[in-house]
Structure 1
Amino acid sequence: MASQLTFIGAGNMASAIFGGLIDNGYPAEAITATSPDESMLEQHRARYGIHTTTDNVAGVSDADVVILAVKPQIMREVCEPLQEALQISRPLIISIAAGLTIDTLSQWLGDDSLPIVRCMPNTPALVGKGATGLYAPPGSGEDHRALASDLLSAVGIVEWVEEETQLSAVTAIAGSAPAYFFYMLEAMENAGVERGLSRETARRLAIQTALGAANMASESEHDPQTLKQQVMSPKGTTERAIASFEQAGFEKMVDDATLACFERAESLARELRDQ
């Protein structure tokens, strides 16, 4: 029998996850989503056939798993009214909220013995190509870890980290990283237009090239450095382009950007803890 899942929050990431589950055969009748937005819930009922409610407490009362999928800034006001109901149902809690530590969530949920798994998904989960980092504290049950893995793998790959602070690194190289690639695509599109291509042609070529390169990297036995070298020939066009990237400090730019993201994730955790 499928676990009863309740999503507190029914926005894009929540719908990506329960939509992916349903596409992979998970029974829609075992899924509930909550939101104050009745029109959004109506759309989800019509599209997915799931249960919906505007009452968070009612939503968690019979849940085996509760997925916290609201913005970090409102998580406290969402969690505190659930304390009594969660004491009775004692589900597995999965949080997809950036920056909120397990200690903070436990405090807001009123019980440090509730099983909690934190995860950091990214937006390609919306098309079933997500990359999610997962963390559970020492002593967490293997059944809880396995269940979290099964649920999140419905929308992409999952990787477990050993320390909770490593989720900030996951944010830097996966959670926020789709925007880095979109930025690169934007720059390539503009460069193509500058060199005479139509915007539509430049965009299609850049996107397809990114897709092909990602698939090659995923399926190849070689690392990215080797794959890069295989595209280059001595004194050729690609070598000249890579040399230009190197002279501009491309690798340091990427390192600086991911460091800035990592540090902001850490500071956000502190701000949310102290709110």
Structure 2
Amino acid sequence: MGHSMLSGWTDRGMDPNRVHIVEPNEDVASLLSKKGVKVFNQNCEIPSQFVPTIIIFAVKPQVMELVVPNYSHFKSESTVFLSIAAGKKIAFFEQHLGDDAAIVRAMPNTPAAVQRGITVACGNTQVSNPHKQQCLSLLRAVGEAEWIEDEDLIDAVTAISGGGPAYVFLLTEAMTKAGVDSGLPQGLSARLARATVSGAGELMRQSDEHPSTLRENVTSPGGTTEEALRVLMSDDAWQTLMDRAIAAATARSRKLA
């Protein structure tokens, strides 16, 4: 996720010299260096005079407890800590950084790499309005961003938009396979599925119509689309499956905390 956001920021013209990244993996560090950012193997290598405006934690939740305490010395009134890790609550960061640290918890998604992401964020009581605006400005450089006051909503946000791109990719895979099973060449089926999903997404983004209206606009009575939807929506199977998937992801996000 961090790499996706970095790609979006640099593509939008962010000065890479302003970005300091700690990456212990040498292969990944080498790739990051090619973007022009400053890469360090350990945070102790960062120049002592450097005062960060925003520190972003973009590591797996499972290793967060090993990482976060190493950044407590960067705490200052001008610095805000921004986490994009699933499951880790603000209280976790207050435990390791102190409850006087300004902490923002956010859940972005991978379309940030092409400036089409959406992020939902919230913060603790130490987050000032300038902190909030700095984080939102950074997040909006790679897509849309929403600020909420209720942190408990973040788990469901993680399930919907955080993991959502994977569900769309799975749909594209399924459409491709179904096309091949119906006799289309693999390459053609893949191109049709990919273009259809991305095109429908862009149409929905630009339209003021409800998704159900857009769906109905494609569906002619007695036509092929209606027949396909009859199968997909029979016994409410499609919605039931999606409800189960989102509930499972939400529960997993809570467990990671």
Bin for the TM-score computed over the shorter chain? over 0.9
Choose the corresponding residue for 2:54, options 62, 65, 70: 65
**Are 2:76 and 2:101, in contact at CA under 8 Å, matched by a contact in 1?**
no
Identity across matched positions, percent: 35
Instruction: Measure the CA separation in 1 of the matches of 2:120 and 2:59.
Output: 18
Tell me which amino acid in the other structure corresponds to 2:140: S
Q: Does residue 79 in structure 1 map to residue 61 in structure 2?
A: no
Instruction: Measure the CA separation in 1 of the matches of 2:88 and 2:231.
Output: 40
**Are 1:63 and 1:89, in contact at CA under 8 Å, matched by a contact in 2?**
no
**Are 1:127 and 1:155, in contact at CA under 8 Å, matched by a contact in 2?**
yes
Query: Equivalent residue for 1:199?
Result: 186
1:188 Cα deviation from its structure 2 partner? 0.8
Q: Does residue 228 in structure 1 map to residue 190 in structure 2?
A: no
Tell me which amino acid in the other structure corresponds to 2:7: G
Instruction: Measure the CA separation in 2 of the matches of 1:200 and 1:131.
Output: 30
Q: How does 1:75-224 map to 2 (within 5 A)?
A: 75-83=64-72, 85-87=73-75, 91-109=79-97, 111-138=98-125, 140-224=127-211
**Are 1:90 and 1:114, in contact at CA under 8 Å, matched by a contact in 2?**
no
Partner deviation per Cα, 1:121-168 (whole Å, 9 max, x = no partner): 112223332221111235631111111111112222212222111111
Stretch moving more, 199-208 or 16-25: 16-25
Distance 1:240-1:88 versus aligned 2 partners, 3 A rule: closer
RMSD of aligned alpha carbons = 1.8
Partner deviation per Cα, 1:100-135 (whole Å, 9 max, x = no partner): 1111111122x1111111111112223332221111
Tell me which amino acid in the other structure corresponds to 1:41: A
Alignment length, in residue pairs?
Answer: 254
Choose the corresponding residue for 2:22, options 13, 23, 34: 34
Distance 1:87-1:211 versus aligned 2 partners, 3 A rule: closer
**Are 2:4 and 2:111, in contact at CA under 8 Å, matched by a contact in 1?**
no
Query: What secondary structure does 1:67 align onto?
Result: strand
**Are 1:189 and 1:199, in contact at CA under 8 Å, matched by a contact in 2?**
yes
Structure 1 outlier segments of 4+, above 4 Å: none
Instruction: Measure the CA separation in 2 of the matches of 1:261 and 1:167.
Output: 12
Tell me which amino acid in the other structure corresponds to 1:68: F
Q: Gapped runs of 5+ residues in structure 2?
A: none
Choose the corresponding residue for 1:48, options 35, 55, 59: 35
Query: What secondary structure does 1:213 align onto?
Result: helix
Distance 1:212-1:264 versus aligned 2 partners, 3 A rule: same
**Are 1:16 and 1:155, in contact at CA under 8 Å, matched by a contact in 2?**
no
TM-score of the superposed pair, with normalisation by structure 2? 0.92
Choose the corresponding residue for 2:2, options 14, 30, 33: 14
Instruction: Measure the CA separation in 1 of the matches of 2:210 and 2:28.
Output: 43
Query: What secondary structure does 1:26 align onto?
Result: coil
Instruction: Measure the CA separation in 1 of the matches of 2:191 and 2:130.
Output: 44
Instruction: Measure the CA separation in 2 of the matches of 1:89 and 1:58.
Output: 23
Q: Gapped runs of 5+ residues in structure 1?
A: 1-12, 270-275
Instruction: Measure the CA separation in 1 of the matches of 2:70 and 2:208.
Output: 50
Query: What secondary structure does 2:55 align onto?
Result: strand
Tell me which amino acid in the other structure corresponds to 1:76: E
Partner deviation per Cα, 1:147-195 (whole Å, 9 max, x = no partner): 1111112222212222111111111111111111111111111111111
Partner deviation per Cα, 1:16-70 (whole Å, 9 max, x = no partner): 223322222222211111111234223322x221212112144385212111111
Query: What secondary structure does 1:165 align onto?
Result: helix
**Are 1:121 and 1:175, in contact at CA under 8 Å, matched by a contact in 2?**
yes
